Every structure is written in structure tokens, then in C-alpha cells.
Amino acid sequence: GAVVSQHPSWVICKSGTSVKIECRSLDFQATTMFWYRQFPKQSLMLMATSNEGSKATYEQGVEKDKFLINHASLTLSTLTVTSAHPEDSSFYICSAGHPGVPNSPLHFGNGTRLTVT
């Protein structure tokens, strides 16, 4: 069964509004989670690393004020797309790996399709 749950699976919002996406690890505690973005027929691009109890680490070119990440507990990370614009429309996917297991594979959520109108 799924080990990482992501919600919602899809969302449509108006330009200028904010959208929150949740990512939960279901049967393990994840001190680190990762947020990816995927455009149609393209690969996954890492946006940021979410660290429980501390600030997220953003990849080069990703606006931290636009993509707010909160990792308040060991099983939940949230990504908030603030003041969304049509160019933010994309497929957002979170992932987590079992802590303490070197090189354990990342498990991915089922993604959130965001459409900004």
C-alpha cells in the first residue's frame, strides 16, 4: 500500500489565490521530505528539501517566498503556492524516504495537479 499520501490530488484555483498541498508519511517518521515539480512529458525537478523543525532548503531558481514549505511534524509537510499565477500550473509531487536507512528509496505521493485560471 501507499507509504506517502498527498492531498489534494487535483485543485483548480484563481490567479492571485494561494493553494496548500499536504504530504504525509503513513507508516514511518520522515525528518526529511522532498518536493518536486513536473511539467508535461518532462522529468521531475527538485524544488526544495523539507526539514522537520527547521527551514526548508530550496533549489536554485525556486522562489522561497512563493513556495512556502512547512514541516511541523515528523509525518506532515505542506507546500503552499502563494499568489498563484497560470505559470504555476503544474504537477507537484512529494516524496520521503525511511530515515536511518542509508540509500533507502524515495517513496512518492500520487501528486497534485494544480491548475491556475
Partner 1 sequence: EDQVTQSPEALRLQEGESSSLNCSYTVSGLRGLFWYRQDPGKGPEFLFTLYSAGEEKEKERLKATLTKKESFLHITAPKPEDSATYLCAVHPGFQGAQKLVFGQGTRLTINP
Nearer to partner 1, 59 or 63 (CB): 59
Burial per residue of 56-80, b for 16 or more beta-carbon CB atoms within 10 angstroms, e otherwise: bebeeebeeeebbbebeeebbbbbe
CA angle 42, 58, 109 (to 5 degrees): 50
Nearer to partner 1, 10 or 83 (CB): 10
Would you count residue 107 as binding partner 1 (CB under 8 A)?
yes
DSSP-derived secondary structure letter, 59: P
Nearer to partner 1, 58 or 82 (CB): 58
Return the SS3 of 99. coil
Site string for partner 1, 33-72 (x = CB under 8 A): -x------xxxxxx--x-----------------------
Which residues of the shown chain bind partner 1 in the complex (CB under 8 A)?
Answer: 4, 6, 32, 34, 41-46, 49, 91, 93, 95, 97, 103-111, 113
